[in-house]
Structure 1
């Protein structure tokens, strides 16, 4: 915990520094949600096909990025809202201006009580 996932259009593959973004996401999560730095894990998942409205996906004029942070239950709604806003600020700072319109979103959710993990 926390489990951070960044889903994004491959259109923006060169528009952001994933290592810098992950570091900033981890720092925000530690500061706002009291996570331990060594517990932060981020998975980046590029999508080769994303669609926006009625635009021809081949035009590639839009890019989508969505960050999901799964936390163990117990954080209040105010903490989750603060972290969501921080994630959007981190995205603004770490995604370069490019030739596409960026649609960014984020959500903070509680991990299911069945969540388990192991390290090897």
Structure 2
């Protein structure tokens, strides 16, 4: 915990600093959600094909799904969601020029279910 999945369209592969984003995201999540950085895990999924709105070329998509253990207030989850969205803006605008894609970014912060378990070790 936290379990984080980031889906992004392939046209951001060369400009989205995924490692930098993940490291900044882990520190942000630890601060806002009172979690330990060493417990943060982020997976990235590159999407070969996305369709945004009317399907016109020139769009990109990034969606962050962030799951926390139960107990955070709705206010904390909303604060985290806003902060992650701001961080996404920073890390997806780097390397883009004026002709780059329009990035559609979104974040969903939710709770892990009661059946969530983890193991760390051999």
Q: Determine if the TM-score, normalized by the shorter chain, exceeds 0.5.
A: yes
Equivalent runs, 1:16-95 vs 2, <5 Å? 16-56=16-56, 59=57, 61-95=58-92
What is the DSSP-based 3-state SS (H/G/I as helix, E as strand, rest coil) of the residue aligned with 1:46?
Answer: strand
Q: CA RMSD in A?
A: 1.1
Distance in 2, matches of 1:115 and 1:78, equals 23
The alpha carbon displacement at 1:24 in A equals 0.8
The alpha carbon displacement at 1:76 in A equals 0.1
Distance in 2, matches of 1:117 and 1:20, equals 25
Q: Is 1:11 equivalent to 2:11 in the alignment?
A: yes
Give the alignment's TM-score, normalised by structure 2.
Answer: 0.91
Corresponding residue for residue 101 of structure 1: 102
Unaligned stretches of 5+ in structure 1? none
Tell me which moved more, 25-34 or 88-97. 88-97
Q: How many residues align structurally?
A: 117
